[in-house]
Structure 1
């Protein structure tokens, strides 16, 4: 096996990262920063033999051929909670240590989910546009409240639990669909399918993991079940909602509105949805705040320290 050219471990960083956080990585590692496809391919081809640690995000991932090209690789970390594009089978076959950033941005994502829900139901963008155009409230339709309404949550993980608590503080009734019923989801009603949840709910927040098992789990039937007064919010992964079905439901008046932070077309905007006034779009920033991003860096560095020391990591995959 080739010997490393530096006494410090080489860390490959595959996602866009602020300079202040790269500086923290550089305090401990010889950092190879490769946030683009071209830089990534070059880094693996020219320095793969020396790379011992990779940090990525769920949507960027790490492929099996890249793992094979890094014979010294010992650990792979997903900076956020998601890890759907990391080839786990290849990583585990190599015996790599795997971890993610679970828990670091849960509250920030839950806050953003509620902000999107409130903005969509209350029609805040439309009302601001009307005001700027000189239209006063008397000429505008009344928008419903969220209090007392039924909120469905698809995916009751740690983020889903936080969304549920926030919704309950708004006096909303909460239901959820999950791979299994959770007995710690206090005050929330379990539904055995996404469709039955949508039929019951006034609004639906998508908070489940991405991947093949959940692709287009929110389909035309689910959207129609929400109804013309229903709203859907997605802060999970773009793949969970069928974009074409969502556009069709909006065009047909079968859905009241949508507020999305994630898209199938990322980082390009969702073209089929851009013409709808009742669609709110944010650029996959639900988990981004100074506090949450720093927390992901801190957790990565602590897990890396534990890995190097032969200790169990805090958030293993």
Structure 2
């Protein structure tokens, strides 16, 4: 007797060859299109789904999981999984697959971009240039901060934090780091408050957990001081956005570079109007190679969890490209 074909729901078009790899595996693919996961659950589209490929914008909560009784694996095209009810998934013995390591370099590069932009006031200078407010070179214009011999404090000494540290050292910065557990490495600072006081700039690289919610609040922003820079490419909830906006408006902080927000896609209005802030729309992993690799890792991990053979690259290239609709080809 033939076993029923596995069915996999994709919540968005997949970049690179990830979609082809999924099609070549022989599973039935359901492309969500413009609908949301909530819509799919209400319409009963999850009733016979064995796997889901999602992103961090898809809220996979208990209600969604209850609508998918056959579900045995979820793959998210992200490192974080705070958008998934992992407790319910674990209770249901549903595997949750993430993409660790794939975005380390791209995110570290962006953190350094934000650090440079914040220190050198490039966002402010470009805005003035575009608006016709620049009337020629002046000796006291757009004076920023040097990276050479400055101290960078890295909060979270995982793969991305270390990658940022290596890049900062190449600019001649002194690098300190803080993590929950002692690292035994040079530059470790056990107390976060001490790290903030010692640093000219701070880059955040910790996950979103109850313990890290508003880890950087008004009190800790004041520890940084008016000549310091804050960079966040980790999770928006780590920083109290209202307190950050107030510190920038009051000039109690020199500048900030922010790529993530607590209530995406909403951004605190006072942060949008704050001086000295460079803000980006969560593009830390947004390179062609990185996003393609993340999608491939998610698909391969999902297929492995479902017990489906992962196709070779050659099989993927010759897969029927009509199987998936609305493909995103970079």
TM-score > 0.5 by shorter chain: yes
Contact 1:152 1:175 in 2 (8 A): yes
Contact 2:214 2:239 in 1 (8 A): yes
Give structure 1 stretches of 5+ with no counterpart. Answer: 312-317
Q: Matches of 1:60 and 1:256 in 2, distance apart?
A: 35
Question: What's 1:245 paired with?
Answer: 243
Aligned match of 1:11 in 8, 15, 18? 8
Higher relative contact order (CA 8 A, sep 6+): 2
Q: Matches of 1:59 and 1:237 in 2, distance apart?
A: 13
- Alignment pair present for 1:227 and 2:225: yes
> Residue by residue, what CA displacement relative to the aligned partner does 1:104-134 show, whole Å, maximum 9, x if unpaired?
1110000000000001101112233444522
Mapping 1:197-236, distance limit 5 Å: 197-236=195-234
Mapping 1:98-113, distance limit 5 Å: 98-113=96-111
Q: Matches of 1:277 and 1:77 in 2, distance apart?
A: 39
Question: What's 1:145 paired with?
Answer: 146
Aligned match of 2:40 in 39, 43, 46? 43
Question: What's 2:254 paired with?
Answer: 256
Q: Matches of 2:264 and 2:306 in 1, distance apart?
A: 34
Aligned match of 2:302 in 297, 301, 304? 304
Q: Matches of 1:60 and 1:155 in 2, distance apart?
A: 26
> Residue by residue, what CA displacement relative to the aligned partner does 1:8-60 show, whole Å, maximum 9, x if unpaired?
32222235655975455444433333376x53223223122211111223453
Question: What's 2:317 paired with?
Answer: none
CA-CA distance at 1:136 after TM superposition: 1.2
Aligned pair count reads 303
Q: Matches of 2:136 and 2:263 in 1, distance apart?
A: 35
Decide whether aligned partners of structure 1 residues 165 and 216 sit closer, same or farther in structure 2, where only a CA change above 3 A counts: same
Decide whether aligned partners of structure 1 residues 178 and 144 sit closer, same or farther in structure 2, where only a CA change above 3 A counts: same
Spell out structure 1 runs of 4+ moving beyond 4 A.
15-24
CA-CA distance at 1:181 after TM superposition: 2.0
Mapping 1:1-317, distance limit 5 Å: 7-14=4-11, 17-18=14-15, 21-22=18-19, 24-28=21-25, 29-34=27-32, 39-45=36-42, 46-132=44-130, 133-183=134-184, 186-187=185-186, 189-309=187-307
Bigger mean CA offset, 14-23 vs 231-240: 14-23
Decide whether aligned partners of structure 1 residues 89 and 268 sit closer, same or farther in structure 2, where only a CA change above 3 A counts: same
Bigger mean CA offset, 54-63 vs 200-209: 54-63
Indicate the RMSD between aligned Cα atoms, in angstroms: 2.4
1:116 alignment partner, SS class: helix
Q: Matches of 1:269 and 1:89 in 2, distance apart?
A: 29
Q: Matches of 1:192 and 1:59 in 2, distance apart?
A: 34
TM-score (norm 2): 0.84
Decide whether aligned partners of structure 1 residues 65 and 26 sit closer, same or farther in structure 2, where only a CA change above 3 A counts: same
Decide whether aligned partners of structure 1 residues 202 and 106 sit closer, same or farther in structure 2, where only a CA change above 3 A counts: same
2:8 alignment partner, SS class: strand
Give structure 2 stretches of 5+ with no counterpart. Answer: 310-330
